[in-house]
A and B are shown apart, each in its own frame.
Chain A
Amino acid sequence: MTHLGPEDIQEESQLSSLNLCQSALQDMAEPFCLLDSQWRYIFANKRWLKTVQMESNPPTGKNMWDVFPHLKQTVVGEELHRAMRDRVQVRFEFYSAAAGGRWIEVRAYPVGDGIAYFSTDISAQKLEQENAKRSQIQFDAILEGVSSGVTAFSAAGEPIFINNMGARMAGYPSAEAYLEARRSGKDMEFKLFDEQGQPIDRSQLPSYLAFQGEKNPPEKIVQYQLAGSAEMKWSSLKSKPVFDESGRLQMVVTIFTDITDRKRAELEREDYAKDALIERARLEAVLRQVESGVIIVDAKTKEAVFMNDKVREIWRWPAIPTSGSERYSRLKGFHLDGRQLRAEDWTSYRAAEQMRAMPPEEVEILRGDGTRGFIRNSADIVRNAQGEVVAVVVTLQDVTEIRKQELALRFLDEATQILHTSLDYNTTLKAVAQLAIPKLADWCSVTIMEADGPNQIAIAHQDPKMLEIAEEFRRKYPTDWSSEGLAARVFRTGKSSIVPVITDEMLEAGAKDPEHLRYLRALGLGSLIIVPIKEREQSFGILTLVSSGKTGPFGEADLKSAEELGRRAGQAIENARLYHHAQNAIRSRDTLVSVSAHELLTPVTGSKLQMQLMRRKLDQGREITPELLRKVVDQTERQLDRLHRLVNEMLDLSRINHGKFAIERSHVNLSELLRDLVERSLNQLQSAECTVSTQIEPDITGHLDSYRIEQVVSNLISNTCRYARGASVKVELSRTSPDMACITVADTGIGIQKADQDRIFQRFERVGTINEGSGLGLGLFIVKQIVQAHDGQVLLESEFGKGSTFTVTLPLNGAKNL
C-alpha cells in the first residue's frame, strides 16, 4: 500500500479507484485518519475533523503530539506508540475531557510505516453500560432487600442466582453458602407439603411447570419442613420462565415468600371465626330458651335485627313489626298511670337516642290478641371497637301474672281487713264484693245458704243499670240449686269452677229461651269463676266472679285468688257462726248456772225454813211431838232427794255434752219396773192432786238400761205433776210388735201449745218463762237422749187445753249405744 498524504490523494484524483477509496473514507461515518511514521497527519476524513472540531483547520502535515500534546502521556499515547513501534493492531477506549467529555474508542492499525486509526464516539454505549451496571447494582440491592427468596435456574437446572433471603429460607446462612453447597452436591433436602399438609408431588410446583415451558404457572402455597427442623413453614411459590429472542428457555426465576406468619394469622382468624360462630350459636340457643323476650335493635335504623320467639309470645303477635317506624307506631303501650307511650317513650328508642342502658321499666301493653298485659322492659347498648353505639339489646319480661298476683294479694289483704272489721258477714261480704270490681272482675256476687234457703247477700258491678238487669234476671230465672248448673254444682261439691272464655255458642247452648239468651248476652259474660265459700269442708255458699273479657280471660292465678277469697269469706262466716255459737253456749251456761242455783236453792230454802221453825220451837220450849218430828224428817228427806235428782240431772247433762252418756243394758222386766215406779210415784202424784190409772201388759222384758228407763218414766211423771196439776194421769205399757214396747204417759192437763211441742225436748227449754215450775228444764231433754240411746223414739201428742200424751217406743233387744 502507498503512503498517501492529503496532497497525494488530491494529485491522484484522476485515479478513479483511488478517488473512490478516498471518497469512501472521506464520507465514512467513522472518524478516520492516517499518520506517517513521523506522527504527521497525512489524511483525516470529515467525520474525524468534525469529532475533533478541526473542520476549519485540518492538522494535515502536523505532528499529532503537537496537535494533541496532552494525549501523549495517556492511554492514547501509549497504545498508539505500541501500534507504531510494534506494528500491531490496537484497540482502546479513552475518556476525552477535551472532546467535551466523551468516550472515544480507538482502533489503530499499522499502515505502511505509519498507522491508521479509527476513533469512534462511544459515549452513548458507555452511558448505556454505566446505566446497566447501576441497574444491576440496584437490582441486586432490591433482590437482597426483598423479603422473598428469589432464585434463577438455568434451563439445565443449574443455579444462576439466589438472593440471601432465598438461601436463608432454604436453610443456608448466605447465598454463597447455598451456591457452594449446590456446586459441591451437598445441598440439603427439605420436605414439601400442600396446604392441607399432604406430601406434594413436585410436578405441581410452578417451577416445574415453568421448566415445562408454561409461561404463567399459577402461584402455589406449600408447607415445608427444613431438614432437621420440626417447624412447619408456609411459603407461596411463583415461577416464571425466561426465554431468549428465539424462544428458547433461558432460565426459570422463582420467587418464594415466607407466609408462615400470615398463614398462622389466617388460621387463627379462621379459628376465631369458628369460635364466633359457636359463640353465636350458643347465644341463639340461650335466646331461644330464656323466659325473657329479647330484641336486638339497630341503633341507627331502629330496625329489629333479631327477635326471639318469646317476644311474639309475650305480645301475642306472631307478625310483630320489625321495622322501627312501624313498630313504634303500631305497638300500643301505656304508662302505669294510663298515659299512652309515644315512640320516643319506648325503652329501646331512648336507649338508642341517649346511647345508654335503660333501667327496667314496667308498662302495660295492648297485646296482639286485644288483651292487656304488663311487661318489664330494659335495654342495654352495644358499642363497636370505635365506641359507637351500634345496637340496643332490649329484654322484656311478661310480668302480667306477677302484677295480677300483686293485685290479687293486695285485694285479699284488703278483703281480709274488711272481713275482720265485723262479725256481721252480710255487711262485710257486701263490701268485699264491691272491692272486687272493677280490678278483679266486672261482676262479683256472693250467695250464702241460710236456714231459709240461698240468699244472694251481695252483688256488685260498676254500672247500676247492669245491676238492675241482673236483678231482673235473677227474679225471672232464679237459680235452681238442685240442678246441674255450675253454681249449684260448685255449692254441692265444694269444688271451684272456671270457664276462661264464655263463647256465644255456649250462651246459646245454655239458654232456656230467647229471652233468657238476651239476658245472658246483656250481662256481658266473658269469663267466669265460681268458688265455694267454705271452711273446713263446710260449704256456706258461693262466690262468683265474672269478667266481661276486656281485662282478659281468667286464668289459674285468678282462680287461686278467688278460691283464697272464698276460704277467707268462709272463715269469716265460720267465725261469726262460732262466735254466735259461743255466745249461745255462754248464755246456756249462764242459764244453767242461774237455773241450777234457783232449783238447788228452793229445797235448801224450804229445809232451812223448817229447821229455823224447829229451832224457834225448841227455843220457845214448845213440845216437839213425834208426829211433828216425822213430818220434818219426811220433808227433809224429800228435799234431799230433790237435790240429789237435780245434781244427777246436771251430771247427765254434762255427760251428754261431753259425749260420755252411755247406757248399760241388762235383762229387764219392763212391766214390773213400770208398776213399781208408779207405786213409788204415788206420793208425788197425790201432792200434785193427780189421780193415776195404769194399764200395764205383763211380762214385757227386754235388754235395756233399767236405771235409765226408770229415769225416763219418772221424768215423764214428774213433768206431768208439774204441768198437769190436778189432772188424771194414765200410764200404759204395751207390746206393739214382738220386739217393740210402747210406754205412754197421758194426762188431762192444760196441754202444750203446738209451737212449743218440739222445743220442750231441747235443753233448758221450758214452756213459758223460766219462772214456771221447778226443775232444770232438762227432764224431757234427758228423756229424749236416753230413748234415742236405746234406738227408740219419744213422741208428744197434745192439744192445748185438753192434755198431753207422751209416747215412748222402745226396741226391746237393741244393742246400740249412744
Chain B
Amino acid sequence: MSKNVLVVEDDEVIRENLKEILEMEGYDVSLARNGQVALDFLRSLSSSPDSLPFLILLDLNMPVMSGPEFLKVIKMDTSPLANIPVIVMTAVPNPEVLGAAQVLKKPLDLDELLSKIQNLAPAAA
C-alpha cells in the first residue's frame, strides 16, 4: 500500500494548503479539483492497485462531479476502488453522507484530520 492520499477539492487554496501540510507529515498527495478528475485519476491506476491511495479526502460541493456523485460511482465499483476509505470534508451543516467512513466539518480541525489519517494509514495498521 502506498502512502498516497488523494485530495478532491475544488477550492484551490484549500487544496494546495492541504497538499503542503500532508506532505510535511510525510504523506504523498495527489490532487483533483472535482469528482470527475479524481475518478479519471483512480481509474488510470486500476492496473496497479498498489499505487492506489490509501485514503481519499473528499469535498462535497464541486462542479462537474460533486462529492456525493463521486462516492456513488466508486462505491458501486467492483474494483478495489470501492474499498478505499473516504473522509468527507464539508461546510454543509448536516450533510447526507453516502457510505463515507468519516465526516469532518470545515473549517478543518487539523489535529483531528491528521489523527484520522494516521489511523487509516498503512503504517499504523
Contact = CB atoms under 8 A, between A and B. Distances in A.
B61 A770 contact: yes
Contacts of B90: 598
A725 B12 CA distance: 13
Contacts of A723: 63
B62 A616 contact: no
Nearest to A638: B13
A641 to B, nearest CB: 12
Contacts of B26: none
B66 A771 contact: yes
Nearest to A773: B63
B17 A774 contact: no
Contacts of A602: 11, 14, 91, 106
A687 interface: yes
Contact of B106 (A601, A616, A768, A774): A601
Contact of A610 (B13, B24, B61, B68): B13
Given A610-B17, A687-B12, A772-B66, A605 B106 contact: yes
Nearest to B92: A598
A40 B30 CA distance: 213
A435 to B, nearest CB: 45
B53 interface: no
A663 to B, nearest CB: 32
Contacts of A616: 21, 24
Contacts of A638: 13
Interface in A578-617: 594, 597-598, 601-610, 612-613, 616-617
Contacts, number: 83
Which of B62, B89, B90, B106 lies at the interface centre, i.e. has the most chain A CB atoms within 10 A of its CB? Answer: B106
A592 B113 CA distance: 28
B62 A771 contact: yes
A774 B91 contact: no
A635 interface: yes
B101 interface: no
A624 to B, nearest CB: 13
B66 to A, nearest CB: 4
B92 A594 contact: yes
B107 A608 contact: yes
A325 to B, nearest CB: 88
A722 interface: yes
Contacts of A125: none
Contacts of A594: 92-93
A426 B56 CA distance: 51
Contact of A609 (B14, B66, B68): B14
A756 to B, nearest CB: 14
B64 interface: yes
Contacts of A617: 24
Nearest to A617: B24
B93 A772 contact: no
A604 B92 CA distance: 14
Contacts of B63: 722-723, 725, 768, 772-773
A639 B13 contact: yes
Contacts of B68: 771
A68 B108 CA distance: 190
Contact of B13 (A598, A635, A771): A635
A769 interface: yes
A769 B68 CA distance: 11
Contact of A772 (B13, B20, B64, B91): B64
A605 B14 contact: yes
A465 to B, nearest CB: 54
A607 B107 CA distance: 9
Contacts of A769: 66
Contacts of A598: 61, 90-92
Contacts of A608: 107-108
A607 B20 CA distance: 14
B38 interface: no
A494 B64 CA distance: 50
Given A594-B92, A598-B91, A609 B62 contact: no
Contacts of B64: 772
B108 A605 contact: yes
Contacts of B121: none
Given A603-B13, A635-B13, A612 B110 contact: yes
Interface string A747-785: 000000000000000000000111111100000000000
Interface in B1-43: 10-14, 17-18, 20-21, 24
B92 A774 contact: no
Contacts of A725: 63
A604 B108 CA distance: 10
A415 B91 CA distance: 49
B107 A604 contact: yes
A599 to B, nearest CB: 8
Interface in B66-125: 66-68, 89-93, 106-108, 110
Contacts of B93: 594, 597
Interface string A6-26: 000000000000000000000
A253 to B, nearest CB: 137
B17 A609 contact: yes
A751 to B, nearest CB: 14
Which of A602, A605, A610, A638 lies at the interface centre, i.e. has the most chain B CB atoms within 10 A of its CB? Answer: A605
A771 B61 contact: yes
Given A597-B93, A602-B106, A616-B24, A609 B61 contact: no
Given A598-B91, A774-B11, A613 B21 contact: yes
Contacts of B11: 602-603, 605-606, 774
A278 to B, nearest CB: 93
Contact of A613 (B20, B60, B66, B107): B20
A691 to B, nearest CB: 19
A601 B60 contact: no
A402 B10 CA distance: 75
B11 to A, nearest CB: 5
Contacts of A639: 13
Contacts of B18: 609
Contacts of B10: 773-774
A370 B17 CA distance: 94
A769 B96 CA distance: 14
Nearest to B105: A601
Contacts of A635: 13
Nearest to A620: B24
Given A635-B13, A774-B10, A609 B91 contact: no
A619 to B, nearest CB: 11
B108 to A, nearest CB: 6
A745 B10 CA distance: 24
Contact of A605 (B67, B91, B92): B91
A609 B108 contact: yes
Interface string A608-649: 111011001100100000000000000100110000000000
A774 B21 CA distance: 24
A612 B21 contact: yes
A114 to B, nearest CB: 185
A606 B91 contact: no
B21 A601 contact: no
Nearest to A607: B13
A639 B16 CA distance: 14
A772 B14 CA distance: 16
Contacts of B106: 601-602, 604-605
A285 to B, nearest CB: 85
B60 A771 contact: yes
B21 A605 contact: no
Given A598-B61, A603-B13, A771-B61, A609 B67 contact: no
8 contacts: A598-B91, A604-B106, A604-B107, A605-B89, A609-B14, A687-B12, A771-B66, A774-B61
Interface of A: 594, 597-598, 601-610, 612-613, 616-617, 620, 635, 638-639, 687, 722-723, 725, 768-774
Given A606-B11, A608-B108, A609-B108, 16 more contacts: A597-B91, A602-B14, A604-B107, A605-B14, A605-B89, A605-B91, A606-B13, A609-B18, A612-B17, A616-B24, A638-B13, A771-B68, A772-B62, A773-B10, A774-B10, A774-B11
